[in-house]
Amino acid sequence: MSNGSSDQQDVPAHLHGAAPLPYATVIAIDLVSGSKRRGETLRAAYRAVAAIDGGEIAAWLALGESALPSRADRPRNLRRMPSFAGDVLDPAQSHGDLLLQITGSSARAVRHAAERTLRALQHQQVRWRADGTRPENRTEDGRGLSRNPFHFTEGHGNPATAAEITERATVRTGQGEPSWAIGGSYQVIRIIRLATDFWDRDTVQEQERIIGRRTEGRWLDGTPSTERAVFATDPHGKTTPLDAHVRRAAPDRRHPPPMVRRSYNYDRGADDQGLIFSCFQSDLEKGFEAVQRRLQGEAMAKYTLTTGGGYFFVPPPGEAWLDRITEN
C-alpha cells in the first residue's frame, strides 16, 4: 500500500513518507478458518485493508510466523517474539497470526476504518488491540518527531530520506529470504508500560542523563540534535553515561542501527500508559534484536516493563505475494 505524500511516493504506507500519521490502532488477529482456506482469508484481509488505505488513512497488514505454516514460505528471521530479560509478556497482548495497523489523521477516522475492516473480517478473532497517538506530531529536517510519555522528543535518531528509510527497512535480494518477501519489512511491536509517576519524580537533569539527550533532542555535550554526537571523546561516560539509552542503542555513531522507529504513545488510564514501540527493518537480528540486547542493563530499564507485542512481516506492495505463499 502506498503513501499518498507527494515527496516520497515510493515509500510504502508502513514506512510513512515524511512522518507517521498522529493516530493509530494496532490489532492482532487470529485466523480461525481452517488451513485449507488460509489463502482465501489472507486475500480477504489484504483486500479489506487495501480498501481503507489512502486519503487520511495509511493502513497495512503484517503476517505473524503462525500465518505461514510452511517453513519454506517464512521469512528467515520470522519467529514468535521471544521474551527478553525483564519482559513479562501477557499472552492476551502478545503475538497473533496477523497484525492490522491503521494510522490516520484523526482518532475518529482510525476508529471508523478499523470498524469497517473488522466487519469484513468478521469470522476471524481479535486477539489484542492497542490504540495510540503521537502528541506534537511534526516533521523536522525530514524526520517525523513526537513527544513520548517521558516528555522526550522521539525520532531524531531516525533516517531522514526515503532512500535511507528504504535501505534500513526493506528486504533486498541476496539476503537469503524467500523471493516473495523481497520489498517487505520486518515489523516489531513492543507494548512497553512506562512508570511515568516514578519517572516524574526525577529531575529533568537526571532524566536527560538516563536518555542521553536533552528533552528537545540536543546532545548532552551541547551538539545540536541534527548533528552526530561524538562519544569517543567521552570514554568514561562523564557527559553521556555509558548506560544512557541512546549510547546503548547506538554506540557507534558512524553506523546507526539498521532500523526505523515509528512508535505511538498509549494511555489506558490508571497505571497503564506507555509506548506502542514499533520498528521496521530488513533484518530482525541486525536491527531490533541487536539493539534490544545492547539495551539490557540500561539506566531506563527500571522505569519500563514490556508486557506484549510481537514479530510480524509486512509483505511487499501489491498482491503477487499472496499467490506465491498460497501455492504450496
Residue 208's CB is within 10 A of a number of other CB atoms, namely 19
Whether 309 and 189 have beta carbons less than 8 Å apart is answered as yes
Torsion of CA 176, 50, 4, 261, to 10 degrees: -50
> Which amino acid is it at 66?
S
Among 213, 262, 282, 284, binds ligand HEM (CB under 6 A): 213
3-class state of residue 149 by DSSP: coil
Enumerate residues 92-111 that contact ligand HEM by CB under 6 A: none
Q: Which of 100, 34, 118 is nearest to 69 (CA)?
A: 34
In whole angstroms, the minimum distance from the beta carbon of 32 to ligand HEM comes to 31
CB of 115 to ligand HEM, least distance (A): 30
Count residues binding ligand HEM (CB under 6 A): 25
With CA atoms as reference, report the closest residue to 165 among 157, 173, 174.
157
**Per-residue CA distances from 93 to 29, 133, 189, 225, 325 (Å):** 11, 18, 11, 35, 27
Indicate which single residue of 137, 146, 207, 304 sits in contact with ligand HEM (rule: CB under 6 A): 304
281 binds ligand HEM (CB under 6 A): no
- Name the residue with cell 479489506: 48
Q: Is 11 in the site for ligand HEM (CB under 6 A)?
A: no
Q: Does 316 bind ligand HEM (CB under 6 A)?
A: no
H or E segment and range at residue 39:
helix 38-52
- Set of cell numbers at residue 164: 535511507
Q: Rule CB under 6 A: say whether 156 interacts with ligand HEM.
A: yes
Residues numbered 236-255 forming contacts with ligand HEM, rule: CB under 6 A: 245-246, 249-250
Q: Determine which residue in the list 157, 258, 316, 317 makes contact with ligand HEM, applying CB under 6 A.
A: 157
Is residue 317 a contact point for ligand HEM (CB under 6 A)?
A: no
By beta-carbon proximity to ligand HEM, the closer residue of 18 and 120 is: 18
**Strands ordered across the beta sheet of 153-154:** 138-140, 143-147, 153-154
Question: Is position 190 an interface residue for ligand HEM (rule: CB under 6 A)?
Answer: yes
Shortest reach from residue 201's CB to ligand HEM, in Å: 16
Query: Shortest gap between Cβ of 279 and ligand HEM (angstroms)?
Result: 6
| CB of 258 or CB of 316, closer to ligand HEM | 258
State yes or no: residue 262 binds ligand HEM (CB under 6 A).
no
Binding status of residue 266 toward ligand HEM by CB under 6 A: no
Angstrom distance (rounded) from CA 249 to CA 236: 17
> Which range of residues in 33-41, 75-83, 288-296, 307-315 is near ligand HEM by CB under 6 A?
288-296
Site string for ligand HEM, 135-154 (x = CB under 6 A): -------------x-x-x-x
291 touches ligand HEM (CB under 6 A): yes
Contact between 292 and ligand HEM by CB under 6 A: the answer reads yes
Closest CA to 23 of 279, 264, 284: 264
Residue type, 10: D
> Which strand (E) or helix (H) includes residue 188?
strand 185-194
Per CB under 6 A, which of residues 65..94 are in contact with ligand HEM?
none
C-alpha cell, 144:
517525523
| Close Cβ partners of 71 (under 8 Å, ≥ 6 residues apart) | none
Name the site residues for ligand HEM (rule: CB under 6 A).
Answer: 148, 150, 152, 154-157, 190, 192, 211, 213, 245-246, 249-250, 256-257, 261, 275, 277, 288, 291-292, 295, 304
